[in-house]
Structure 1
Amino acid sequence: MAGGMQHRQAEAGARYDVFHTDCPARDVVDHVTSRWGVWVLISLRSNDLRFYELRESIQGISEKMLAQTLRALVQDGLVWREVEPTTPPQVTYGLTEFGRDVGEPLTELFDRITRRLSPRP
């Protein structure tokens, strides 16, 4: 379970100023709430998935956008990435503890929305 833990803890008693453009927490929020970030976190909520499995689970995402989104979420410490040295390499992704913590309210939001929608014809 490798990955750069870029999220930083605030000093004791200090809080991030998320309204300031230099705030590191703002970047994480931008990545999580990006067009594809939320779908990656929701897709990984139950299982670790390989790249192609993620691509198949999120309809409409291109390989390029999936790769960019995963790169940002790994760098933020929300997702871990593991490469198996096979030919071709098998890359698996999963949620870190931080990613599960952030993804939980997103999953609840998704579940609330889908429960309240009218049934599909």
Structure 2
Amino acid sequence: MNKENACPLNYTMNLIGTKWKPLILFHLLDGALRSGVLQKHIPGISNKMFTQTVRELEKDKLISRKVYPVVPPKVEYMLTKRGQSLEDILKSLDAWGIEDAKQ
């Protein structure tokens, strides 16, 4: 953690605090998904934003990308060990959303 991210919450939010990152991470909790399948789980995300977001998550070592040498290309995304460590946080956010939506 550097000086700019001296606050642990600020550090965390810089890693996962966009509109799309938590959704992508959440949908990968149950295992690897092909790129197109993962994108279909996230209504409203454009191709450009999906690509940008998974690249950022990969750069931050929260997900990994596996490309299979087949035609047409097959790409899968999966959580890294670091990404898996966010499971409790993501599930808590999901549970909170379920409860709050009932009100």
Query: What CA distance in whole angstroms lies between the structure 2 residues aligned with 1:28 and 1:68?
Result: 19
Q: For the Cα contact (< 8 Å) 1:28–1:76, is it kept in 2?
A: no
Is there any run of 5+ residues in structure 1 with no aligned partner, and where? 1-15
Query: What CA distance in whole angstroms lies between the structure 1 residues aligned with 2:77 and 2:95?
Result: 23
Identity %, equivalent residues: 30
1:14-66 CA distance string (max 9 Å, x none): xx24x6169xx967632411111011011111121011001110000011111
Where in structure 1 do 4 or more consecutive aligned residues deviate above 3 Å? 25-29
* Greater C-alpha radius of gyration: 1
Q: TM-score, normalised by structure 1?
A: 0.73
- Counterpart in 2 of 1:36? 20
Number of residue pairs the alignment of both structures matches: 102
Query: What CA distance in whole angstroms lies between the structure 1 residues aligned with 2:43 and 2:17?
Result: 17
Partner AA of 1:34 in structure 2: T
The structure carrying a bigger helix percent of its residues is: 2
RMSD: 2.5
Residues 96-111 of structure 1: pairs in structure 2 closer than 5 A: 96-111=80-95
